[in-house]
């Protein structure tokens, strides 16, 4: 319970910061809400798994699967491509800070640390993309068996 | 017999809009392919992040090619949704070519954009709340929000001043954000310099592009993936260099 509660603030930060990102990416109306809810879900699961299990790459992978399912469902409900929601929803997990740190180490001349953090960053990016692709291909495989939504 | 010139133009223009909106390569290739299929041709489509080539063979066996180069980069989800929607509609019930072309050409004109002040609010929200992510407190968030506001103003209005080169533009924005965060922390507004700086830099850092690059590679578009990956490394280097420059300035002044 305590673990679950400790993951709520990051979810809130994820929600609000990605509401900002969706304004920058020209998303309108209820789309902002949908995309930032995805971001909240992704950061919640990420921090939950990091706290419970400890692996950042594994956490990114599992959180990306959850968010992938969420954005596929939302794309079916709202009849538009998943890309938008997925991009914004993954943003809190995306290893921007890691990339920045890695290049800072390179510029400052700490090559061993640079390589370490670059590989780690690429690992997270790979986990995110594989996770998101996994759930979307699962969805596509299952789609013919799912009931069709009425056209708006 | 269809007018192949117009058909090619239809296909490439749809592709161009998709590229401008930041769509993935496989989506661009698939959309153009399906669209031209719906009009009864069997095209070959090849897309790179900044270039699209479409080739069709006419009934006489001649081949015709059209290529577009796209330089602008960015993410515009509204445009992506509109283009995707139109493309699907045309695939379902192909409109007469001239009508379809007019529809595709009009895509950019009627597109709603968030007003600049709302985009700036977006910059502030993003940077402020990312500062919390990196264990900053409320004051750090305020300082990061100010850095984000400065970066947003520079990105929106300073394009002429900073030139069109992605590397230099990013480096200049990075100097601005890091310098401002140093300044604000020295003033005593921000407490954790790290949280303010990284929170502010989140609007520049190409974390999303890195994930997209990996996605392209996983989807089999290895060329495009490597192209994007190289760009990510360049941009990240620009940010790091900019932050070092700001540090040096901070030591000297």
Q: What pLDDT is stored for residue B72 in this prediction?
A: 65
Q: How far apart are CA B200 and CA B207, in angstroms?
A: 14
Q: Per the domain annotation, does A9 fall within a domain?
A: yes
Q: What is the mean pLDDT of residues A81-105?
A: 83
Question: Sign of the C-alpha dihedral, residues A87, B141, A23, B244?
Answer: negative
Domain span at A141 = 2-91+132-145
Is residue B91 pLDDT above 80, yes or no?
Answer: yes
pLDDT of residue B29: 92
Contact flag A83-B232 (C-beta cutoff 8 Å): no
Number of domains into which chain B is organized:
2
Which of B105, B129, B157 is at the close of a domain? B105
B240 touches chain A (CB under 8 A): yes
Of the residues A12, A31, A82, A97, the best mutation for testing chain B's interface (the one with the most B CB atoms within 10 Å of its CB) is A97
Q: How far apart are CA B247 and CA B21, in angstroms?
A: 35
Q: Is A39 within 8 Å of A89 (Cβ atoms)?
A: yes
Nearest Cα of chain A lies from the Cα of B115 at a distance, in angstroms, of: 9
CA distance B236 to B133: 20
Residue B111 lies in a domain: no
Between A and B, how many CB-CB pairs are < 8 A?
A: 158
Judge if B98 and B124 occupy the same domain: no
Task: Indicate yes or no: CB of A133 within 8 angstroms of CB of B133.
Answer: no
- pLDDT at position B205 is 83
Same domain for B167 and B139: yes
Q: What is the mean pLDDT of chain B?
A: 87
Proportion of chain B above pLDDT 70, given as a percent: 99
Residue A70 lies in a domain: yes
Sort A30 into a burial class: Cβ within 10 Å, 0-12 / 13-18 / 19+.
Answer: exposed
Query: What is the C-alpha to C-alpha distance for residues A137 and A67, in angstroms, rounded to an integer?
Result: 13
pLDDT in tens, B173-229: 999 999 999 888 888 888 888 888 888 888 888 877 888 888 888 888 899 999 999
Task: With a cut of 90, say whether residue B2 has pLDDT above it.
Answer: no
Report yes or no on A60 lying in a domain: yes
Domain assignment of residue A80, yes or no: yes
Does B22 map to a domain? yes
Same structural domain, B204 and B228: yes
> Quick one: B148 and B215 in the same domain?
yes
B chain contacts of residue A26, beta-carbon cutoff 8 Å: 75-79, 113-114
More confident residue, B7 or B208: B7
C-alpha distances (whole Å) from A36 to each of A49, A137, B142 are 20, 23, 21
**What are φ and ψ of residue B195, in 5° steps?**
-65, -45
| Residue, of B208 and A67, whose pLDDT is higher | A67
Instruction: Please identify, among B73, B105, B137, the residue that sits at the C-terminal boundary of a domain.
Output: B105
Q: Give the mean model confidence (pLDDT) for residues B221-248.
A: 90
Domain housing B230: 116-252
pLDDT of residue A150: 55
A114-118: average pLDDT? 92
Q: What beta strand segments (E) does B49-101 contain? A: 51-57, 63-69
Residue B66 domain flag: yes
DSSP annotation string for A51-105 = HHH--HHHHHHHHHHHHHHHHHHHHHHHTS-SHHHHHHHHTTTS-HHHHHHHHHH
Domain assignment present for residue A152? The answer is no
State which of B83, B105, B127 marks the end of a domain.
Answer: B105
Could you give the C-alpha distances from B106 to A110, B61, B73, B83, B109, in angstroms and in order? 52, 32, 20, 10, 5
Task: Please tell me whether residues B129 and B23 are part of one structural domain.
Answer: no
B176 shares its domain with B60: no
Interchain proximity B243–A27, CB inside 8 Å: no
Which residues have C-beta within 8 Å of that of residue A83, sequence separation ≥ 6? B23, B24, B27, B77, B80
- Within-domain flag for A79: yes
Is the ipTM above a cut-off of 0.95?
no
Is residue B37 assigned to a domain?
yes
Q: Are residues B15 and B90 in the same domain?
A: yes
Beta bridge partners of B64: B56
Which residue matches tokens 């100097």?
A: B175
Q: Angle of helix A56-78 relative to helix A30-53, nearest 10 degrees? A: 160
pLDDT of residue A149: 56
Q: Is residue A120 part of a domain?
A: no
The CA distance from B175 to B168, in Å, is 10
In this structure, are B129 and B99 located in the same domain? no
Cβ(B35)–Cβ(B7) below 8 Å: no
Name chain B contacts of A89, Cβ cutoff 8 Å: none
Which long-range contacts (C-beta less than 8 Å, at least 24 apart) are formed by A51-59? A51/A3, A51/A6, A51/A7, A52/A3, A56/A120, A56/A124, A57/A120, A57/A123, A57/A124, A57/A127, A58/A127
Residue reference for tokens 């079916």: A76
**Residues forming a β-bridge with B63:** B57
Report the number of distinct structural domains present in chain A: 1
Q: Residue B220 is encoded by which pair of tokens? A: 């089999």
Question: Within a domain: residue B110?
Answer: no
Q: How far is CA A137 from the centre of its chain?
A: 17
Task: Copy the structure tokens of residue B126.
Answer: 């993003």
Mean pLDDT for the stretch of residues B121-126: 90
User: Would an 8 Å CB–CB cutoff place B234 in contact with chain A?
Assistant: no
pLDDT tens, residue by residue, B149-165:
998 998 888 877 777 78
Q: State whether B177 and B202 are in the same domain.
A: yes
B158 and B54, same structural domain? no
**Residue B234 and residue B145 share a domain:** yes
pLDDT band for position A152 (cuts 50, 70, 90): very low
User: Quick check: A104 and B244 CB within 8 A?
Assistant: yes
Strands (E), chain B: 44-48, 51-57, 63-69
> What average pLDDT does range A40-58 have in this prediction?
89
Same domain (yes/no): B78, B142: no
In this prediction, residues B112-126 reach a mean pLDDT of 88
User: What six digits make up the tokens of A108?
Assistant: 């400052």
Name the residue among A92, A98, A106 with its Cβ closest to that of B133: A92
């Amino acid at each position: 319970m305590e673990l679950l509660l400790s993951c709520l603030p990051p979810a809130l930060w994820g929600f609000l910061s990605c509401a900002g990102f969706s304004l920058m990416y020209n998303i309108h109306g209820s789309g902002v809400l949908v995309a930032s809810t995805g971001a909240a879900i992704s950061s919640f699961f990420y921090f939950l798994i990091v706290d419970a299990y400890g692996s950042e790459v594994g956490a990114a992978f599992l959180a990306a699967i959850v968010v992938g399912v969420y954005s596929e469902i939302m794309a079916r409900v709202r009849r538009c491509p998943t890309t938008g929601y997925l991009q914004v929803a993954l943003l809190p997990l995306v290893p921007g800070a890691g990339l920045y740190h890695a290049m800072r180490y390179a510029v400052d001349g700490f090559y061993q640390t640079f390589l370490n953090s670059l590989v780690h960053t690429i690992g997270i990016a790979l986990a995110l993309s594989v996770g998101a692709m996994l759930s979307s291909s699962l969805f596509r495989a299952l789609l013919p068996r799912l009931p069709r939504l009425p056209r708006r | 017999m269809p007018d192949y010139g117009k058909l090619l133009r239809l296909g490439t223009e749809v592709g161009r809009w998709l590229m401008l909106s930041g769509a993935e390569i496989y989506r661009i290739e698939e959309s153009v392919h399906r669209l031209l299929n719906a009009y009864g041709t069997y095209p070959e489509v090849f897309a790179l992040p900044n270039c699209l080539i479409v080739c069709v063979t006419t009934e006489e066996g001649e081949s015709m090619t059209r290529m577009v180069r796209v330089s602008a980069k960015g993410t515009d989800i509204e445009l992506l949704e509109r283009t995707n929607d139109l493309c699907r509609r045309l695939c379902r019930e192909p409109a007469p070519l001239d009508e379809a072309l007019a529809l595709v050409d009009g895509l950019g004109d009627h597109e709603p954009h968030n007003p600049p002040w709302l985009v700036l609010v977006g910059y502030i929200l993003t940077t402020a709340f990312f500062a919390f992510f990196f264990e900053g407190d409320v004051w750090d968030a305020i300082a990061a929000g100010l850095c984000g506001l400065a970066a947003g103003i520079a990105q929106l209005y300073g394009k002429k001043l900073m030139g069109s080169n992605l590397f230099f533009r990013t480096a200049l924005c990075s100097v601005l954000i890091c310098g401002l965060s140093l300044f604000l922390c020295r003033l005593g507004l921000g407490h954790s310099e790290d949280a303010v700086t990284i929170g502010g830099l989140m609007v520049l850092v190409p974390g999303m592009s890195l994930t997209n690059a990996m996605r392209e590679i996983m989807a089999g578009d290895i060329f495009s993936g490597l192209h994007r990956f190289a760009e990510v490394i360049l941009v990240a280097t620009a940010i790091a260099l900019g932050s070092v420059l700001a540090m040096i300035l901070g030591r000297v002044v």
